[in-house]
Each structure stands twice: as structure tokens, then as C-alpha cells.
Chain A
Amino acid sequence: MVKAYINGTGCISPQNSIDSEWFFDDVNPAKGDYFDAIEPSYKEFIAPNLLRRMGRAIKMGVAAGNIAIQQADVKKVDAIITGTGLGCFEDSERFLLAILNNDEQFLTPTSFIQSTHNTVGSQIALIMKCHDYNFTYVHRGFSFESTLQDALMLFAEGKETILIGGIEEHTPNFIILNRKAHKFQVQNPDNPIWKSTTPGIQLSEGTAFFVLNKTKTEKSIARVDGIQTLYKPKTSDDIWNKLQAFLKLHDLTLSDIDVTLMGFSGDVNFDSKLQELLPAIEKESVAACYKNICGEYHTASAFAMWTGTKLIEKQSLPKALAISDKSPSRIKHVLIMNQYLGINYSFMLLSQC
């Protein structure tokens, strides 16, 4: 089975993840029922002539990709694969409103051009002059997972270095409308995210990019052992059985998993199956969460993979992510169990290398 080595990461999130020294200290709370990403000063990463025209998702994606590439210290990649649930939503909305407000007149093409979901991947290709494989996945809570699955197949097909990333942005109107549809809630500080009894997520945004390498190098931080997606599992038992099989495929059992990062979103309707599984996970592994600090979005699993990589690198489980007082004695294997809307579930397995 093909594995991949993580040689560089770049992450823009509601936290200070852009700072390579940051390790889950000074955690920013949500702004009520949503999080905003903390955006860096982009001119360090993107040429001013390009920066001017770029929407926020493009800037966040290109910058995070750039950081990952710098960290991995590579000049070229053999493939660029991005994942995004809503793509360049700000540009889409801008062009749509221009159409609706001006009765289809006086339009300029810039926001239409940039509204295309593959804009981030193609901008990175343009900047890097990368003529190779370029794919964009746009499937809800599988958008980022699909990039990783694809990369592992490409390694088996002979590629050596691949850039993957998840990108999501929100807009003020998007927040207003989804709030109106009762999709969000302010998290009750007395009721942690893994014990929610009420519906509503905390909407968020962010990007996380990874330079993956087929072979281990001195830059390698952690290893990706496998990925699996589950579409609409019926019960928590289904997920449990699939998880056992997934771990078995990698010659592991749950007791080998030092930290299990679980995708609790704070919405009881979506989290119920993970809530049911939590006691069994805690029995053999150390359970932790991440959406309490990154919020919920289609590609939150990219933040989770960034988090898992950090845990392996630092060999420590920060308090901000902990569910119980248990702390792992070492962090050799990290399992990410993400869920999105209680429909898209995934397992991603990371290991020390």
C-alpha cells in the first residue's frame, strides 16, 4: 500500500496557525456563531500585480500553498490537487449580485473568471509554471479527502512530489443567510463541543496545504498511511466496523492509535454517531477534537490533518484539543475521524516517520 510523506504544511485558520511556532496556545474563541480566518499579510507570499485581483479564497489558498512549498523546499511539484466545497464563493456572489442588481448589464468578467472552483489550483499552476496533473474536487465533506486519495494513487502511478490543499471561504451574506436558516449556534461554554445537545454549528473558513512526497526525505514531518471515505453510514456500528477494517488494513488496532481526532461539529444532529462512538474510542485511544478551535466547514479535515501533523511533530496533545484528562505517552499514530453534516465521514491515518 502506497504511503506519503508530509514534507511541508501551510495553514490559514481562525487560529494563529500561519506562525510555524504556534502550537495551540492562545486559542481564539468564535465570534459568536462563526469564526473568521486570520489572514496573513499576503505580500510576503504573492506578487502585488496578482494579489490585486485575487479573491480571498484564492489569496488564502495561494499563500498556504506557498508556505507549504517553502517549508518542503521544493521548486516544482508533479501535481496540484485542491479541494473546496464552495470554491471562490465571494467572487461567485459578487458576479451573481451584479447580474441581479443591474439586470444583466454593465458586467465585467473578473469575478466570473475567478468564480470557477479550480481557480486556486490553476493560479498555483500558473505561478509555478506547472504543466502537470491539475485536479479540483468539490464534494462537500469529501473535497479534501479526495485530494489525498488521488495523491496516493498518483504516487503508485509514479509521481514523486504533490501539492494538495483544502480551501474554504465564507462571506457576510453567506453567514446572514445560513444563520437565518438556523444552521449555526453560539457554543455554550459549559457544554463542550463533543457533548452538544442542540443543533447548530459554528461556521468557519480556512485553508491547509501539504507538500507530499513519495519517499522519505530529511524534510519529512509525518507519514500519511491511508484514507477512506464513508458515504451515509446508517449507524455508528457501521462506522465502527469500517474503522476496524480500515485499521486492520494497516496492521493496526485502535489501541495502537495514540490520538484520535474526532470531527465533532457542535450540532447534535450531525455529531450523534460520533458521540455514540466516543466511549469506545476513549477506551483504547485518546480522543481529541479540533472543530472547537477551527470551526466547521467543508474542508475542516484539512485543518485536522495539519493538526495531526503538528501533534506528531511536537509529540504532545495540547489542552485546547483534549476531551479528557488522558494524555498519550507518545504520539506514533494519529487517526482523524471527520464527519460533515452527518453524511460524509472519513478516516485518515497519520504516523510518525
Chain B
Amino acid sequence: MPTKTHLISNGAVIDDTWVLIDDETPLDDTPAIISLDRLKAEADALRSRNAKIGVVIRTNTQGKTKLGEDVRELAPYLDMLSTIAIDFPVYRNGRGYSDARILREEMGFEGELRAIGEVLFDQWSFMARCGFDTFEIDASIPVEKFKEALNELSEAYQPAVDNQRGVLWRRHGL
């Protein structure tokens, strides 16, 4: 994971106004990204709080059965979430791609979906197709290079969250 990162959202570098807060630290009125456990435990209090809230979904690989957290558990809380961060602990772990599509396509989440963790050049375009709009990446990578990466593969056979219907359909004007 790069030591210094910047945030690219919808194709531009933006200031990150969010703070990732651990479970022990009390919340002030800064927009806070908290854990799924804390969200579930403090949902009622959080609803009445006067600041934006986000959640991070962790994909764990430690331990025998810890696959990671289930995004479908977010269903009762979606309306109060402005951002959902999906953590990629290592680029090889692609569970987060399914998380993103489930959030966008099945659960209808329309807020910010950010990819955090090991988010590398050659994963960006797949992440974008799965519904991520915000990427926390190595600060030394300029936004132009990021955009280039998204356009390296200009066609896609299959439908996904982006607007592409997929070549299998577009061949027939669908």
C-alpha cells in the first residue's frame, strides 16, 4: 500500500473530507467512515447525528473462515450512508468487485463508492465497471494517467454497472 495517497473521484482529484474513525474514538461532527460493527451497534444514535456518515467494508483473509463482511447487511442503513468504502487488503483479493456490483445493482446504492487499500493501475478500469466512482490511489500517479488506464480497454463484452450494455448486446442495437 502506498504511504501517501490521493483521492480521485469521477475523474478528478478531490480533497478527502472524510476521516476513517476506529471503533474506540468518539465521533465529532466531521464526516466519518466507521466500521460495519459500529454502524450496526450505533445506528439509532447515528441517525440523529448532524454529520455525514460512511462505512468501510473489510475483506479479511486472516483466520480460517473470515471471508470478510457481508455488504448485504447494509440494507437497513443504506439511506443514512453517504459513502461506502470497500477495502482491498491486497490487489489479488477481488471480493470487493462483487460487493460493489451488489451494492449498485441489487441494493440500488447511489452514493459514493470508494476503493481503498491496494488499488493499483491495472485494477482501476474493472473497479470502475463494477460501480466504484472514487479511488484512493498512490499520490504520485497523476489524474491523466488514471484516466488513461480507464480507457486502455475500450470495449467490453459483458454488461456491468457502467453504462455499457456489452458487445454481445450492442451488436444487435440493444
A and B bind: no
